[in-house]
Amino acid sequence: MVIPLGIQAMDEPRSAPSRYSAVWGMAGIPVADARWAVRTLLARAGHHPDRQPNQDAQLVVSELVTNALRHAPGPGELLLELSADAARLTIAVRDSSSQEPLLRDPDPRRAGGHGLRLVTRLCEQLRTVPSRRGKRIVAQMLLDSGAGPGS
């Protein structure tokens, strides 16, 4: 089930954060849908999909949602919140596992296990918030200093 919340049109004044939320059950959510959500949210705020901030945000969302689906079967949730000035994006992914994600040592011979390292490099802050039924991974990204042409 996907629930868009408060996405303003580009010509409306932005005085409040823009949000997007999606929840999923045992079947999960297509990772492409999560990437589309952040791409669209940022594009509507002026961060063009072909520019670095939008692409980095898509990568972070893709990695966090993929990890939740791969390592924590069951219900989950994605929440995106873009600050009113479109300069900061908060990404929260809830899953059913209580295990914290592990940051593995770099190994160029390993096929996987590099995503969390990329996420930590792209985000200003990454934290794990435990809950009774799993955890929430919260990432904060600084985007360009204001959306608009060329952002």
What predicted TM-score, i.e. pTM, was given to this entire model? 0.83
Place of tokens 């823009």: 18
pLDDT at 110: 73
Question: What proportion of the chain, given as a percentage, has pLDDT over 90?
Answer: 68
Report the candidate in 55, 77, 86 with the shortest Cα–Cα distance to residue 133.
77
Question: What proportion of the chain, given as a percentage, has pLDDT over 70?
Answer: 85
pLDDT at 115: 87
pLDDT at 6: 39
Q: What would the pLDDT profile of 29-60 be if each residue is shown by its tens digit?
A: 999 999 999 999 999 999 999 999 999 999 99
| pLDDT score of 149 more than 60 | no
Q: Is the dihedral of CA 118, 123, 124, 130 positive or negative?
A: negative
pLDDT at 145: 52
CA atoms of 137 and 122, how far apart (whole Å): 15
Domains with residue ranges and CATH for the chain: 20-100+113-142 (3.30.565.10)
Helix (H, G, I), strand (E, B) or coil at 142: strand
| pLDDT score of 89 more than 90 | yes
CA-based end-to-end distance of the chain: 31
